[in-house]
A and B are shown apart, each in its own frame.
Chain A
Amino acid sequence: MDLYEHQARLLLDEQGIATPDAIFAQNSHEVAEAAERIGYPCVIKAQVRTGHRGQAGGVKVAHNQDEAILCSEQILPMTIAGHKVNGVLVAQAKNIIHEYYVSISLDRTSRDFDVLATANGGTEVEEIARDHPESVKRLHISALEDFDEASARKMAESIGFYHADVDQAAQVLLRMWQCFKRNDATLVEINPLAKIGDPDDESSKSLCALDAKISLDDNASFRHEEWKAYSQNSHPDPFEARAREHGLHYVHLKGQVGVIGNGAGLVMSSLDAVSGAGEQLGSGVKPANFLDIGGGASAEVMRTSLSIVLSDPQVESVFINVYGGITACDQVAQGIVGALGELNVSKPIVVRFDGNAAKEGLEILKSADNANLHVRDTMEQAARAAAQYASSTKETTK
């Protein structure tokens, strides 16, 4: 789960990392009030879970209340890279002397944690790594060890923090590590970590986290009651929200063929097969969703899944692909037949069963004697049939 900046900065603040005064606001009235309290100039920043918001016009400076309101009216309705803006952060503007980049993240390859830092902060780290690879310093933290003060200092020195900054930077790095560990994060990124203050007054200079990005490990939610506050509004897609309520893995993809299967890999493979068939047929038919019923799914789970997929008005046909391992195909078949009865289904459903109780499952489907039920032997044939049904429906409705 990715946090919004306004949530992430609070987690940094908890660990004692300096952040500018800021207030989260969701309409222009709230923005006007927030700006008055923060003072001018202030920065109005789109709250959106994606990078490059600055380039997209999602960050503006306001020098008075009218400007603040104007900025918020421009930013609040925006959608950046497909992500709807959720609100704005009204933050105190700071005099920036220098910008650093620092992050701690999970490293899947070395199976440990990575501290990444560079003195060339401010832009996306991918760009920094491309343009100035030599400036990006990396340090691994073993999963069995802690990140201590000595390593933090060494890191700070290697990045190019100088003099008094080294102590401060080492503290920031240590606190980021605390933030990372305590919150079961997979990423804590500060970009920019800015040196702020009066350029002519050494004693006024300090490090401040001007932006923050934090991703949390969903698997750890059982030990973080406080995350409930984050999950509100985090599934704006109604289909995804409904599937989640039932404990199902569903991703809305907005094509025409609903896809249901058991096991994440097999469902992804089924999506690819539908897209492939759509291309081959020249109809451009695409999968409408990813839905994994998981291992050992009951008839009830199948019925719920089918009802969620069919409630998407864009769905023209459904492809059900089950390789019975723990899952028994006869259970799945009962779920399908049950759903057909309840939902008054009028769209073609193509089923492919293999493995555990496949024969029994196919018999149940056959005896249901429903004209909308179609069976194919292989997943390729089934995907093609489902894509065909979707494209023919598409044509007849034109």
Chain B
Amino acid sequence: MTLFIEHGAPVIVQGMTGHQGMTHTSRMLNAGTHVVGGVNPRKAGTSVSLHLDASDTETSLPVYATCGEAREKTGAQASVIFVPPRFAKDAMLEAIDAGIKLIVVITEGIPVADTAYCVELALQRGIRIIGPNCPGLLVPSAVGEGNDNLGIIPNGIVGSGPVGLVSKSGTLTYQLMGELADLGFTACIGVGGDPIVGTTLLEALQQFEQDDNTKAVMMIGEIGGSAEQEAARWAKEHMSKPVVAYIAGFTAPEGKQMGHAGAIISGGKGTAQDKKEALEAAGIAVGKTPAQAATLLRQALDGDGEA
């Protein structure tokens, strides 16, 4: 079955012509992602030249005026968005209107009202948004060639294996990928650190539960909101696979935004301690450190089926 994205699906990049977009498009291509073009109305008709490390050659990607045109000409099934915050709403709406089924929003700093609008519209149309303010989605190839890497997750840390990983944080994702690199992953998804995101921890768990290849899930949360509690409640009722968690921010003070827009304890709500307790009450083991969480996940995999 398809986990988030069909293997080798054509991908476009909105904001490809910018510095960040260009750097990461190149990385995605080198990871084996099937990037087929970019979108920028002011540079439509031009192309962007990118270096392929494996063959030491240059490849040229076309720039289209709109997502609609890009989809028509390339059959793009997914888009990765790198545009600055003030243009992000229009970029998301354009991708939604073009009927692109998976939209990964890397941009940090998008007004939450803009995100809320786009996420609601996407949900109504059966379109998945991942992010914003996230590292994206990595689906290591099970056949050994060409990872589907949509975003900025570094390639080369992990290969294919039985673990599903879902996280609110970018670098903690890499940390846990590193800790569990020998096991490998079905997919690593960074859902983002904003107060409203297109794919929640719970919705990611639902996908992993349905995926036959995923045998256990590592979930990384942090202070703010109650996405961890909601995921825990759902997992307790519906999840047949073991879930192990790590939560960051036990030392975070009340009322201070800790980097991510959504990482804030307000009115005593959203503390790491509350989340830990809710997860444990749902039978989800919580590691004190990323390393301990990795150990717990190994144990859960070994005792497969009984968790």
Q: Does A220 contact B (CB under 8 A)?
A: yes
CB of B117 within 8 A of CB of A144, answer yes
A355-398 contact mask (Cβ, 8 Å, vs B): 1 or 0: 11000000000000000000000111000000000000000000
Binds B, one of A22-30, A106-114, A332-340, A342-350: A106-114
Query: A-B pairs with CB below 8 Å: how many?
Result: 170
CB of B248 within 8 A of CB of A325, answer no
Q: Please count how many residues in chain B sit with their CB below 8 Å of the partner chain's CB atoms.
A: 62
Smallest CB separation, A381 vs chain B (Å): 10
Complexed CA–CA distance, A233 and B263 (Å): 23
Picked from A143, A222, A272, A276, the residue with its CB within 8 Å of the CB of B113 is A143
Complexed CA–CA distance, A364 and B172 (Å): 25
B1-29 contact mask (Cβ, 8 Å, vs A): 1 or 0: 00000000000000000000000100000
Kindly report which residue of chain A lies nearest to residue B225, judged by CB atoms.
Answer: A108
Kindly report which residue of chain B lies nearest to residue A250, judged by CB atoms.
Answer: B259
CB of A323 within 8 A of CB of B289, answer no
CB of A265 within 8 A of CB of B152, answer no
CB of A106 within 8 A of CB of B110, answer no
Interface positions, chain A 245-268, Cβ under 8 Å from B, are: 249, 251, 253, 261-268
CB of B112 within 8 A of CB of A265, answer no
Interfacial chain A residues near B290, Cβ < 8 Å:
269, 379
Interface positions, chain B 90-149, Cβ under 8 Å from A, are: 109-113, 116-117, 119-121, 123-124, 135
Complexed CA–CA distance, A108 and B85 (Å): 20
CB of B152 within 8 A of CB of A143, answer no
Binds B, one of A11-19, A69-77, A202-210, A287-295: A287-295
CB of B259 within 8 A of CB of A111, answer no
Interface positions, chain A 69-125, Cβ under 8 Å from B, are: 106, 108-109, 111-113
Kindly report which residue of chain A lies nearest to residue B171, judged by CB atoms.
Answer: A263
CB of A265 within 8 A of CB of B248, answer yes
Interfacial chain A residues near B174, Cβ < 8 Å:
323, 325, 355
Binds A, one of B41-49, B206-214, B250-258: B250-258
Complexed CA–CA distance, A383 and B267 (Å): 30
Interfacial chain B residues near A286, Cβ < 8 Å:
251
Q: Please count how many residues in chain A sit with their CB below 8 Å of the partner chain's CB atoms.
A: 54
Interfacial chain A residues near B246, Cβ < 8 Å:
269
CB of A265 within 8 A of CB of B226, answer no
CB of B109 within 8 A of CB of A325, answer no
CB of A355 within 8 A of CB of B222, answer no
CB of A253 within 8 A of CB of B253, answer yes
Kindly report which residue of chain B lies nearest to residue A264, judged by CB atoms.
Answer: B259
Q: Does A186 contact B (CB under 8 A)?
A: yes
Beyond A144-B121, A354-B175, whether A264 also contacts B260 by CB under 8 A is: yes
Smallest CB separation, B26 vs chain A (Å): 12
Complexed CA–CA distance, A276 and B292 (Å): 13
Interface positions, chain B 148-177, Cβ under 8 Å from A, are: 152-154, 157, 167-175
A295-335 contact mask (Cβ, 8 Å, vs B): 1 or 0: 10000000000000000000000000001111000000000
Complexed CA–CA distance, A261 and B85 (Å): 24
CB of B170 within 8 A of CB of A325, answer yes
B73-101 contact mask (Cβ, 8 Å, vs A): 1 or 0: 00000000000011000000000000000
Picked from A51, A106, A269, the residue with its CB within 8 Å of the CB of B112 is A106
With A325-B153, A325-B171 known, 17 other A-B pairs at CB within 8 A are A106-B112, A112-B120, A113-B116, A184-B111, A218-B257, A223-B86, A249-B257, A265-B169, A265-B172, A266-B171, A268-B249, A269-B172, A269-B289, A272-B248, A276-B289, A290-B252, A380-B291
Q: Which 4 A-B pairs have the closest CB atoms?
A: A265-B169, A264-B259, A263-B171, A266-B171
